Amino acid sequence: MSLTELTAAELSAKLRSRDVSAPEIARVHLDRIAERDAEIGAFLSVEPELTLAQAENAQRMLDRGEGGRLTGVPVALKDNLSTVGTPTTCASLILEGYRPPFDATAVALLRAAGAVFVGKTNLDEFAMGTSTENSVFGSTRNPWDLTRSPGGSSGGSAAAVCDHMAPLALGSDTGGSIRQPAALCGIVGFKPTYGRVSRYGLVAFASSLDQIGPLGRNVEDAALLAHAISGHDPTDSTSLPDSQIDLSGLKGGALRGLRLAAPRELFGEACHPGVRECVLSAVDRLRAEGAEVAEISLPSIDYGVTTYYIIAPAEASSNLARFDGLRYGPRLEGEGHVGTVAATRGRLFGHEVKARIMIGTYALSAGYYDAYYVRAQQVRARMTAEFEHAFGEFDVIVSPTSPVVAFPLGELSHDPLALKMLDLCTIPANMGGFPAISLPCGLSEGLPVGLQIVGPIRGDERVLQIAYAVERALAG
Amino acid sequence: MSISLDEVQHVARLARLDLEPEELLAFQAELNALLGHFQDIQALDVSEFEPRPHAVVLHDVFGDDIARPGLDREDALRNAPRTRAGLFLVPTIIED
pLDDT digit string, tens, across residues A443-455: 999 999 999 999 9
Residue A400 and residue A276 in contact, taking contact as beta carbons nearer than 8 Å: yes
Does the annotation count A153 as an active-site position? yes
Q: How far is B21 from chain A (nearest CA, A)?
A: 12
pLDDT for residue A347: 97
pLDDT for residue B1: 61
Phi and psi (nearest 5°) for A309? -80, 5
The HSE-up count of residue A192 (CA atoms within 13 Å, CB side) is 32
Residue A214 and residue A173 in contact, taking contact as beta carbons nearer than 8 Å: no
Nearest-5° Cα angle at A134, A133 to A136: 105
Residue B93 has pLDDT above 70, yes or no: yes
Residue B59 has pLDDT above 90, yes or no: no
d(C-alpha A259, C-alpha A278), whole Å: 20
pLDDT for residue A224: 98
Q: B1 touching A, CB under 8 A?
A: no
Helix (H) or strand (E) segment spanning residue A279: helix A273-288
Considering only alpha carbons, which residue of chain B is nearest residue A325?
A: B81
Residue A273 and residue A392 in contact, taking contact as beta carbons nearer than 8 Å: no
Instruction: Decide if B55 and A432 are in contact by the 8 Å CB cutoff.
Output: yes
Q: What would the mean pLDDT of A359-381 be, rounded to a whole number?
A: 93
Residue B96 has pLDDT above 80, yes or no: no
CATH for the stretch A3-229:
3.90.1300.10
Chain A residues 128-187 with a CB less than 8 Å from chain B: none
Collect all residues of chain A within an 8 Å Cβ-Cβ radius of residue B52.
377-378, 380-381, 384
Kindly report which listed range (A338-342, A360-364, B3-7, B63-67) carries the lowest average pLDDT score.
Answer: B63-67
CB proximity list for A398: less than 8 A, separation 6 or greater: A260, A261, A262, A279, A283, A286, A293, A451, A452, A453, A454
pLDDT tens per residue, range A30-55: 999 999 999 999 999 999 999 999 99
Average pLDDT, chain B: 91
Q: Are strands A259-263 and A396-400 parallel, antiparallel or unpaired?
A: parallel
Considering only alpha carbons, which residue of chain A is nearest residue B93?
A: A337
Considering only alpha carbons, which residue of chain A is nearest residue B50?
A: A378
Does the annotation count A420 as an active-site position? no
Q: What would the mean pLDDT of A131-150 be, rounded to a whole number?
A: 98
- A73 pairs with which residues across the strands? none
d(C-alpha A108, C-alpha B46), whole Å: 42
Give the one of B18, B23, B90 whose C-beta lies nearest to A326's C-beta: B90
Q: Which domains are present in chain B?
A: 5-43 (1.10.20)
Residue A472 has pLDDT above 70, yes or no: yes
Q: Among residues A12, A149, A153, A402, which one is catalytic? A: A153
Does the annotation count A177 as an active-site position? yes
This model of the complex carries an ipTM of: 0.95
Q: What would the mean pLDDT of A18-28 be, rounded to a whole number?
A: 98
Top residue of B48, B54, B65, B73 to mutate, by most chain A CBs within 10 Å, is B54
Domain spans in chain A, listed from the N-terminal domain onward: 3-229, 259-300+383-475, 307-370
pLDDT tens per residue, range B21-40: 999 999 999 999 998 888 88
